[in-house]
Each structure stands twice: as C-alpha cells, then as structure tokens.
Amino acid sequence: MKKLWFVLVASLLLVTACSKSGGEGNEGGASGSPSASQSADSPDNKEPVTLKIVNKDMPPDDPNTIKLVKAIEEGMAKQGTPIKLEIVPVQAGTYSEKLGLLLQGGNIPDLIYFQGGDYNFAVNQKILEDLTPYIEKSTYLKASLSELNKERMKSYPYLVWAAPIRAQVPVVRQDWFDKTASGKALLENPTVDNYYNFFKELKQVSGAKYVYTVAGLLPEIDVMFNQAFGLTSTWVKGADGKYVFASTTQAEKDKLDFYAKLYKEGLLDPEFLTKKWDTKEKAFYDGEAAIIAGTQGKIIDIYNTKTVGQNGESAKIMVLPPAKGAAQGYLPVDVSKESRGMAIASTSENKDQAFAVLEYMASPEGQMLDKLGIQGEEYQITNGKIKLTDKFAAWFPHFVENLENFKPAQEFDPSTPYLSEPAVKSMEMFTGMSTKDNAFVMPAELAGKWDASLAVYNEFAANYVVGKVKSEDFAKFVESWNAAGGKEVADYANTVLK
C-alpha cells in the first residue's frame, strides 16, 4: 500500500486521455438539426434526464460547483447518457439535521449525499436503494473501491463512498515544531506526559493563543489520545468479562481529567464548544492554534497548501504520532458501515441514470474532472506533464477520492505533485498505526436509544472538560447513559460481539 502511494504521488501518475465513447457532439448542420445519417434516438438527440442531487459540498452558487456540474453534463452527453443535474439547496445549519428535515418533508432527490447520523429516517422509511446490484454490474466504480469500502458495504449497501477511510490525524506547523526542545523526545517516546510537556513548550515558542483546536466535540483530539488511555475500541470488556461502552469506563474518566487539565491551562481551545470546521481551520491558518486534526490524505494536503500559502514555505505541516500508553494508535476504524457517502433514492424514477453519474465520475474522464478540475483552469498540460495551477488549491473530489483506479496518461510535473509530502505521510502513518473497531450496525429498534445515549455522553464530556461538572458526577453520568437507552444497547452488544 505504501509503495502504491509513493508511486502515485512521486509524480509517476499517468493521466488518461479524455474518453471518446459516446457521441462527439453535433456533426449535423449549423442549425443543430439531425443529419440524414443520425437516428432520432442517437446520443446527440436524446432529451437529458433531470436528476436532483443534494450535497453539502456542492452549494448551487459556488463557482466550482457550477463548473463541475456543467462538465459532468457535457461529459455524460458525449458518452450517450445526457442528464441535467439540479442541485437541491439545504438550509444553513447542521447538515445532517437539515437534510433529515428535507427528506421528511417529502423532497427526496435522486442522488443524496449523507454525512454522519442522518440516515436513520431514510432507512426506516425505506427510501434508499440497495446499490449492490448496480456496483456488481459496474466497471469503473467497482474498480475504484478499496477492500475496506467493500467490507463496509456488505452490511450497509445503501451508501457508497470511494474514498480512503475518513480518519483524522493531528498536524503541527514544521517551523513551530522545530523551535521546541521537547519535540525530539516526543517523537522518540510519545507518551501522554511527553505530549503535555510538548504542548506547554509549543504554546510558548509559537506564540499561539492555545495549542489544540477542535470543532465542537472531542473526537478530533481523541485521535491523539484515546488508545493511550486504553480506549482501544467502542466496546471494551469490563471486570466481569462483559462488553461495556468504552466511554463509560474509568479509562474515559482519566482521559477527560487530562483534557480538563489542558483546558484549564489554556492548551485546549477555550472556544472548542462553539468552533465550526471553518473557524477551526482559520484559527490554525492564522496562528491562533498550533495543532489541528485533519482527514488523512487530501484534507491534510489542503491544510498544507493553505498554511504554506499564508505563512511561507517553512510553515509546511508535519504529522504527529498518536500518544503511547496502554496502547498506541489513531482512533480505531469502524468497518461496520459507511458513515457518509452517496445514495440513490428508491423513490427515484431514474435510478439507472442516477447510478450512471456515479459510474461516470469513477471513469478515467470523470476522475480527471473530479480530482483535478478543468484543464486550462485547475491544471495545464505543459511539456507533456500535468502542472497544477494556483486554482487547484480550491478544488477537491466530490465523488471518488481513492487512487485505486486513477491512472492518468501523463505524469505530474515534479513541482506540482497531486499530493504533498505531508499528505502522503499522513496516509502512511495512519496505515501503520490504525486498528479495526468492533462497532456494529445498530438495529433500527435501538437506533434512537443509541443516539440518545451518545447525546448524554457528548454533553457530559463537554461539560466535564470545561469544569461545569466534577469528578464525582461521573457515576451519575453512567446512570444517565444507561437510562437513556445505553443499557439496552450494551445488552445487545453482548449478543453480537465475540
């Protein structure tokens, strides 16, 4: 796997020539009417099928969204499947909540991007199509799925996400790291204590207002510390040999005590509860925060590009290892189901055409568009090589992030590799220090209880860190967690985990 990434990113990628399958455009008269040699149902004369799509990362008024949609429509028309993509806007706010309201209101697009805990309504109402038969018959999308993607789809075949496991790793500016004396000791032995000493020195030498920033909840710092405190999976065995929710154990309390210490000493973002993803990232770019967690691969690449662009070449980012203690590793990987991805509505009257969009975006031509943007804008072909432009920094894949089936016909210019060194390093380190979680697909009858119990945990953990509740309240939290439905979920966990 590592060799594959090195080959791909070391500018040995091959760029594919644009696909010529399907029609090449209207070759009739200037009026656009069919020539005598054209049949009435030739690709040039098919009426485009309108497909509605909802995706938080495709705002209708965004210039890149407009370019992407136009290019998809033109490319699919040339290949004989003319479609018109109509973007369904979502109200501002938490995407999962607003999407849920959209669907419950009866506005169900043909293509739906889900993210997070927003699919229970859709599954319960049976409005999602089983994608298994479509993918089995596909050529490109099937080839673009990793083994982990396929494993997730076995138990939950409604979402497809041809992307690396969306796991986060922590990063810091290289120039700030190099100013510390404790950094070397940290890399040699990244214990929790060594991280604490590093945080204190890092804040001092960098001039940052605080060290670690997160957006709202704690998983973005858990990526560094969970396993060190013994929180190695969602469910761990208790003293009686039965599985218990890890976040109700003494190990969780010890971790929260540590976070509370970081918060009290100004090392954890004091506004972490109200931070959103954009304000969190801005704090890092502006130098207010010293450490941020980002998704391995492309997001780390974006962080690196923007940080260097704003602060200079010496400010390139470096990936930090997870803390070492009871265990060592980034957050365990949930392989029970895709937590985000594209779905096709079972209510759609154009399911085949909707899947054709996903298949096209996984094709050689579609991947060039999805990954690189528009030739002449986000990239140029210079001296037979792909040279990315400044505009490329604002472009990112919406459909296929995996590189399994990305085989362009030209190499990347060495000065503009597809992924930067920190992005490659993030994937290597995650691959080498990740484990599989024992989370499972929650049955519909327990989904509400699970959500309610998680809400109890999230509220308590946040309040604990900021000092609104005390150490002696932990036992009451566990009781509340059980009462909210956690006990029933834990009982079920012990029937499915072995």
pLDDT digits (tens, 9 = 90+) for 342-366: 999 999 999 999 999 999 999 999 9
- Average pLDDT rounded to a whole number, residues 107-132: 83
> Is the four-CA dihedral 445, 450, 453, 459 of positive or negative sign?
negative
Query: What is the rounded average pLDDT of the residues 7-20?
Result: 37
Q: What pLDDT does residue 120 have?
A: 65
**Cβ contact 431:333 at 8 Å:** no
Q: Over range 26-31, report the average pLDDT.
A: 29
β-pair type (340-344, 111-115): antiparallel
**Which of residues 32 and 468 earns the better pLDDT score?**
468
Q: Which of 108, 74, 104 is nearest to 88 (CA)?
A: 108
Residue 443 one-letter amino acid? P
Cα-only R_g, the chain = 24
Whole-number average pLDDT of the chain: 89
Closest residue by Cα to residue 363 from 172, 198, 142: 142
pLDDT value of residue 383: 95
* Residue 4 predicted with pLDDT over 50: no
Domains and CATH numbers, the chain: 16-24+42-165+338-412 (3.40.190.10), 168-332+442-496 (3.40.190.10)
Annotate 208-247 with three-state secondary structure: CCEEECCCCCCHHHHHHHCHHHCCCCCEEECCCCCEEEHH
The model's pLDDT over 380-433, given as tens digits with 9 standing for 90+, comes to: 999 999 999 999 988 999 999 998 899 998 999 999 999 999 999 999 999 899
Share of the chain above pLDDT 90, in %: 74
* Contact by Cβ (8 Å): 401, 423: no
Within 13 Å and on the Cβ side, how many CA atoms surround 112?
A: 31
pLDDT band, very low/low/confident/very high, at 45 (cuts 50, 70, 90): low
Longest dimension (CA), the chain: 85
Q: Hey, what amino acid is at 162?
A: A
Q: Which amino acid is at 138?
A: S
pLDDT over 70 at 34, yes or no: no
pLDDT of residue 100: 87
Mean pLDDT of 60-70: 96
Calculate mean pLDDT across residues 20-44.
Answer: 35
| pLDDT of res. 20 | 34
pLDDT band at 145 (very low <50, low <70, confident <90, very high): very high
Which DSSP string corresponds to 425-479? HHHHHHHHT--B----PPPHHHHHHHHHHHHHHHHHHHHHHHTSS-GGGHHHHHH
Cα 310 off chain centre by:
24
Give the pLDDT score at 3: 38
CA distance 461 to 252: 9
Stretch 218-231: mean pLDDT: 97
Give pLDDT, residue 164. Answer: 85
Q: Is the pLDDT of residue 369 over 60?
A: yes
Q: Is the pLDDT of residue 22 over 80?
A: no
Query: Is pLDDT of 230 > 70?
Result: yes
Residues whose CB is less than 8 angstroms from the CB of residue 484 and which lie 6 or more positions away in sequence, other chains included:
449, 452, 453, 455, 456
pLDDT of the residue at 62: 95
Distance from C-alpha of 287 to C-alpha of 310, rounded to nearest angstrom: 10
Q: Residue 412 has what DSSP assignment?
A: B
Range scoring the smallest mean pLDDT among 196-200, 222-226, 272-276: 272-276
Does position 229 have pLDDT exceeding 70, yes or no? yes
In whole angstroms, give the CA distance from residue 310 to residue 347: 47
User: Looking at the predicted structure, is the pLDDT value of residue 21 above 70?
Assistant: no
Q: How many CB atoms lie within 10 A of CB 45?
A: 16
* pLDDT tier for residue 118 given thresholds of 50, 70 and 90: low
Give the integer Cα–Cα distance in Å for 25 and 282. Answer: 44
Distance CA(297)–CA(295), nearest Å, equals: 6
Q: Per the confidence metrics, is the pTM higher than 0.85?
A: no
Q: Which pLDDT value is given to residue 11?
A: 38
> Kindly report the CA angle at 151 between 147 and 156, in degrees rounded to 5?
140
Convert the pLDDT of each residue in 68-117 to its tens digit.
999 999 999 999 999 999 999 998 888 888 898 899 888 899 999 998 75
What's the whole-number mean pLDDT along residues 121-131? 83
Over pLDDT 70: what percentage of the chain?
90
Q: Report pLDDT for 6.
A: 37
